[in-house]
Structure 1
């Protein structure tokens, strides 16, 4: 199957909203691969005290990983018709602007260049789960970040849907949303 026939579904949202769990569940359901969040690997390797410059390196790593998984998908599961992606450049943009009040042109250019077929925005209606890489356990920042993500998605052209409810409900809603574009 050619790469351009593969529908790319991006799961985004504030931290601790079940993005990785949803990616894994969708990949299993649709017999495909998923692209993990590169930031986790980067921070585990380089430490949690990151800089503005680190976010550009994380963005480059995320894009490279996405490309690698698209190539791997074509060879490992030739009949797959979609790829699940945990995080994209919108997440890096929000992260960068929220923490550093600016965003690298590299990230902004990647947003303009990369095309996706569906965004699934994970809602903040699940409990925050403590993790040494997570920074915003309080409700205020979670609400603020969710509002930022909604605003971004409203002002872009790719179809999107908010995914809410418990983890089972989220998976069912996400499956229906993906099926609608396949």
Structure 2
């Protein structure tokens, strides 16, 4: 039932969680128009543009706007309130007749907007979560996070290597290890190598013309690799939105650049630009030594494996990516990989502290 002409929800949304979304949806049901004002300080580590985008995706029916607010937070100082209100009013210039909040400063905020205060679950009983709790331990709050926030916070681990060096075997086993932990980890995603499917389709197309064609007859063009890189990234992003706090990827768009070099003898600036858009947290490079080459119909040139291993390591080093070379038996490789991923997860997401508050 619509009770108000124009409602306002204001917050840092650092990051947004289920409690924030409950507040916005409650307000939207009661307002003909709702503005959500996302306020971020420059000391915080999640960009304002990301938070605005996340809130717009979750609440397309609301008018979501953003503002940078670097004014110190002192709820006891009228002059500080005046400075904050100047920022709020610049972002939301029209009249507001209801301010929806779960915070104890809601009454003063509403008074200064000349609006009615509407409290929504101030005790956080419906969704027992806060931005502070999410920043401290995202995994413990994972069920309260929406898909785009999960995608942003999930730690991305890429397994890559030359042909027939066990990348798929290790990445599948690694994803299975974390799923077996249960709880939130049971949703751990595994992203298959899209280049593999592309190659299968390429060979199938050749055989519609010549049933006797084999992989040696296939030829790659430079234009194919950006397509592969973009599709790999899209598959990765989809899984990151659905899964657990860690995502296991069997190759990525960075690796696609090495494959371009392997087949065409040069680098692809377009593929490198695609790979730079999304940082990954850890690379596991499967070494070729001790792994027999298996020709599955889509592989050739086993003698190139040492060169490819070296090129992966060189480019990982040159670009400053975090990586570890894994060797040994399947069990040894999995044990090494789990130790590295557990170390990564223990480091946490490293949110910068927001501006301190005086209440």
After superposing on structure 2, the runs of 4+ consecutive aligned residues of structure 1 that deviate more than 3 Å are none
Instruction: Tell me whether 1:156 sits opposite 2:326 in the alignment.
Output: no
> 1:68-99 deviations in whole A, cap 9, x for unaligned?
211232xxxxxx21000111122211111122
Aligned positions of 1:70-81 closer than 5 A: 70-73=240-243, 80-81=244-245
What is the CA-CA distance between 1:62 and the residue it aligns to? 0.9
Identify the match of residue 264 of structure 2 among 97, 100, 113.
100
Quick one: distance in 2 between partners of 1:160 and 1:104?
Answer: 22
Instruction: Tell me whether 1:59 sits opposite 2:229 in the alignment.
Output: yes
Identify the match of residue 37 of structure 1 among 193, 200, 211.
193
Residue equivalent to 1:142: 305
Matched length: 174
Instruction: Tell me whether 1:131 sits opposite 2:296 in the alignment.
Output: yes
Identify the match of residue 109 of structure 1 among 267, 270, 273.
273
> 1:16-58 deviations in whole A, cap 9, x for unaligned?
1111111111101111111000011111123252322222221
Indicate the structure whose relative CO is greater, using CA pairs within 8 Å and at least 6 residues apart: 1
Higher strand share: 2
Residue equivalent to 1:24: 172
TM-score (norm 1): 0.89
Q: CA RMSD in A?
A: 1.4
Aligned positions of 1:162-173 closer than 5 A: 162-173=325-336
Instruction: Tell me whether 1:46 sits opposite 2:202 in the alignment.
Output: yes
- Which of structures 1 and 2 has the bigger CA Rg? 2
